[in-house]
Structure 1
Amino acid sequence: MTAFSLDPEQITWRAELRAVAADRLRPLAEKGEPRRVNRALVAELGRLGLIDRLFTSGALDLCLMRESLAHACTEAETALALQGLGAHPVHAYGSQAQRTRWLPGVRAGTTVAAFALSEPGAGSDAAALSLTADPDPDRPSGGWRLTGEKCWISNAPEADFYTVFARTTPGAGARGVTAFLVPADRPGLTGTPLDMLSPHPIGALTFDAVPVTADDVLGEPDHGFRVAMGTLNLFRPSVGAFAVGMAQAALDATLVHTAGRDAFGGRLKDLQAVSHRIAEMALRTEAARLMVYAAATAYDEGAGDVPKRAAMAKLLATETAQYVVDAAVQLHGARALRRGHLLEHLYREVRAPRIYEGASEVQRGIIAKELYATVEAAQ
């Protein structure tokens, strides 16, 4: 297999996932309450073995899962991705005791995880975190108290545990951040839901001298930025896969609509302006898909330019999905704006990926930084 094609087994698996998402996951998603964790849906993802596969396969498999689920059920895609994002630091950097305690429930879909990085004053600038981890005077042998806020945290405040990034060394930038595994029932930890455009749960967390110890550290003290970036480098291409799945769903719906819609004495598809717009939508979707697959393959092969490729894939795919969904709404007309229409749903879903896990502007900055680093290394 190359970075630009899938083998027959992967193509079949992708089709099977779309069918599962439509037949088994979408009905559960429709029964869920907007902006609340749908635990029945998460549990079904666990029963299907999809959550476990997050931790046993590579980045390309993750992309295929997210793209396929997003095509038929964005709620299932997001629930799967949030489990992976919140628990991957435990899987990759946690101690044996942490993995034994938390990962079986995550895999089964009975324990909900969350990734708590963003803050009111530090969204995409992960090195500017202000949540402080001060030495705990009640634990002279070692321990901290977390004080501050996290904001725009998916699955908050309903998650069972949070991967939390806090500043342990003031003034050290990215080098002074530590990752902690914080159970939701820790004293001093409270949360509130936020009413956001996206239908999945997002909340804010307040840390009022929340106690943590060395047993709660993920990785090493003051090396939490590495945990955050390692997680984001894996998941950024798959955010692009999520976007590609939505773009493909919008394109497929628009092909059916324009082929059957009577307009101006013929079919809508016979208008050159329409057919050319469809061609552009398909072109951009396929280009984004190929870049996502290439970035994921580079990650799986341990290539040295993963940060650049991941940023490119996330940037191109999310911007493409915004264009494709918007074009699909335009070609459907007013019917696409009715509450409950597929495109009305996608139109609300597609905006957020251009912001979270690093806004488009941040991705451009990463790409430029990596390009100039290559030039400087060659001089």
Structure 2
Amino acid sequence: MTAFSLEPAQLAWCAELRTLAAQRLRPLADKGEPGRVNRALVAELGSLGLLGRLFTSGALDLCLMRESLAYACTEAETALALQGLGAHPVHAHGTREQRARWLPRVADGTAIAAFALSEPGAGSDAAALELRAEPDAPRGGGSPAGPAVAAAPPGEGPPAGQALSAAPDGPARWRLTGEKCWISNAPEADFCTVFARTTPGAGARGITAFLVPADRPGLTGRGFDMLSPHPIGALDFDAVPVTAEDVLGEADRGFRVAMGTLNLFRPSVGAFAVGMAQAALDATLAHTAGRDAFGAKLKDLQAVAHQVAEMALRTEAARLMVHAAASAHDAGSPDVPRCSAMAKLLATETAQYVVDAAVQLHGARALQRGHLLEHLYREVRAPRVYEGASEVQRDIIAKELYARQEAR
């Protein structure tokens, strides 16, 4: 199979997902409260086996799931994606104990996950994050830093795993202090993948990923009133205790955990966008084929027909780019960062264009509360910002291109 075609079984699966989303997930989504975690919807995703597939599927399957769900129920798509984003670091880098405790509950929809990377001063510039992981006094006393965290040369993190050296009286311990914001599923998540600075002044090489349960003392949060209907909020860390047993991967190597997760999910953000674009396009085809204006059907007006053709062209181009990026990820290609950035950029910008054009062709009715396009118009804006804004994706693409040229 190439990146430019799908097998009949894949096409049938996508059709089945669209039906499930419309018949079983849409009713639950409609009962949810905007800005709050819809646990009934997440539980249904678990009972359908879709959350479990997050840990057994490749990037292409993830994209097919997200596009198909987004077509009929954006809330279900987002709920699934947020579970994957928050739990993927545990799946890929967690210890046996971490995986055994949390992944079955994520898969059955009884535990809500969050990916806590962004901060007030570090959104797309993830390497600039300032949430501090300060060494805690080891059990039994001793200096605050103790022997748990080894000293490193200025501007460098310790060798991989060195910061995890256990003190004689217990594992390495830290206190997390600072704030995370724009975090999906905050503050209602049951656990968070949290990225904190363990080595000051080390940039991307001084960040550690921690698995932090929501019941840790000192961890509080608050929700934001956002344009998008899914839950987004802030997390406040007031000397929240964590130990080496909470580390995901290796100390001071958390940036790799974050980027590996984003490289997987960025193409599927594009798939989410493609699903919305396709829904808007199909609604426009139906509307323009049935609407009378100026003595003819709207579809017979050349300006309208050309607009619809452009919408279809861009949607299909974005879909192909998403499939190509996902296939590159599944094949282990070194071009994954570039391909993922291209897919997210093209698809999210395309979806914004297509949904806006659909609103224009529908007229005032599309702006009524409850209309499909009114809903999509609110939903489509955020993906151009989260998991790296469009401008950041262009920066990634350019850096990858120049790096490849220099390597020749």
Per the normalisation by structure 1, the TM-score is 0.99
Alpha-carbon distance, 1:341 to partner: 0.4
Residue number in structure 2 paired with 1:87:
87
User: CA separation in 1, counterparts of 2:216 and 2:360?
Assistant: 49
Alpha-carbon distance, 1:40 to partner: 0.2
Residue number in structure 1 paired with 2:29:
29
Residue number in structure 1 paired with 2:331:
301
Q: How does 1:319-334 map to 2 (within 5 A)?
A: 319-334=349-364
Residue number in structure 1 paired with 2:285:
255
How many residues of Structure 1 are paired with residues of Structure 2 in the alignment?
378
- The one-letter amino acid paired with 1:240 is G
Q: Does 1:101 align with 2:101?
A: yes
Deviations 1:252-271 (A, max 9, x none): 00000000000000101111
- The one-letter amino acid paired with 1:83 is Q
Deviations 1:21-61 (A, max 9, x none): 00000000000111100000000000000000010010000
Deviations 1:307-327 (A, max 9, x none): 000000000000000000000
User: CA separation in 2, counterparts of 1:349 and 1:61?
Assistant: 22
User: CA separation in 1, counterparts of 2:50 and 2:279?
Assistant: 21
The one of 166, 191, 200 equivalent to 2:230 is 200
Alpha-carbon distance, 1:163 to partner: 0.2
User: CA separation in 2, counterparts of 1:93 and 1:169?
Assistant: 20
- The one-letter amino acid paired with 2:22 is A
Q: What are the ranges of 5 or more consecutive residues in structure 1 without an aligned counterpart?
A: none
Residue number in structure 2 paired with 1:124:
124
Residue number in structure 2 paired with 1:72:
72
Deviations 1:116-150 (A, max 9, x none): 00000000001000000000125453200000000
Q: Does 1:349 align with 2:379?
A: yes
User: CA separation in 2, counterparts of 1:138 and 1:74?
Assistant: 47
Residue number in structure 1 paired with 2:161:
none
Structure number with larger C-alpha Rg? 2
Q: Does 1:234 align with 2:260?
A: no
Residue number in structure 2 paired with 1:335:
365
- Secondary structure, aligned partner of 2:51: helix
Alpha-carbon distance, 1:12 to partner: 0.5
Deviations 1:316-374 (A, max 9, x none): 00000000000000000000000110000000000000000000000000000000001
- Secondary structure, aligned partner of 1:33: coil
Deviations 1:286-308 (A, max 9, x none): 00000000000010011110000
Deviations 1:89-110 (A, max 9, x none): 0000000000001111000000
User: CA separation in 2, counterparts of 1:166 and 1:220?
Assistant: 12
Residue number in structure 1 paired with 2:244:
214
User: CA separation in 1, counterparts of 2:137 and 2:126?
Assistant: 28
The one of 149, 153, 158 equivalent to 2:183 is 153
- The one-letter amino acid paired with 2:204 is A
Q: Does 1:38 align with 2:44?
A: no
- The one-letter amino acid paired with 2:47 is R
Residue number in structure 1 paired with 2:49:
49
- Secondary structure, aligned partner of 1:42: helix
User: CA separation in 1, counterparts of 2:137 and 2:124?
Assistant: 32
Q: Does 1:265 align with 2:295?
A: yes
Q: RMSD between aligned alpha carbons?
A: 0.5
- The one-letter amino acid paired with 2:401 is L
- The one-letter amino acid paired with 1:285 is T
User: CA separation in 1, counterparts of 2:136 and 2:327?
Assistant: 44
- The one-letter amino acid paired with 1:247 is A
User: CA separation in 2, counterparts of 1:353 and 1:36?
Assistant: 19
Please identify which structure carries the higher helix content. 1
- Secondary structure, aligned partner of 1:50: coil
User: CA separation in 2, counterparts of 1:311 and 1:104?
Assistant: 31
User: CA separation in 2, counterparts of 1:345 and 1:119?
Assistant: 28
User: CA separation in 1, counterparts of 2:12 and 2:81?
Assistant: 21
Q: How does 1:355-370 map to 2 (within 5 A)?
A: 355-370=385-400
Residue number in structure 2 paired with 1:224:
254
Per the normalisation by structure 2, the TM-score is 0.92
Residue number in structure 2 paired with 1:7:
7
Q: Does 1:58 align with 2:58?
A: yes
Q: Could you tell me the percent identity over the aligned residues? A: 83
Residue number in structure 1 paired with 2:219:
189
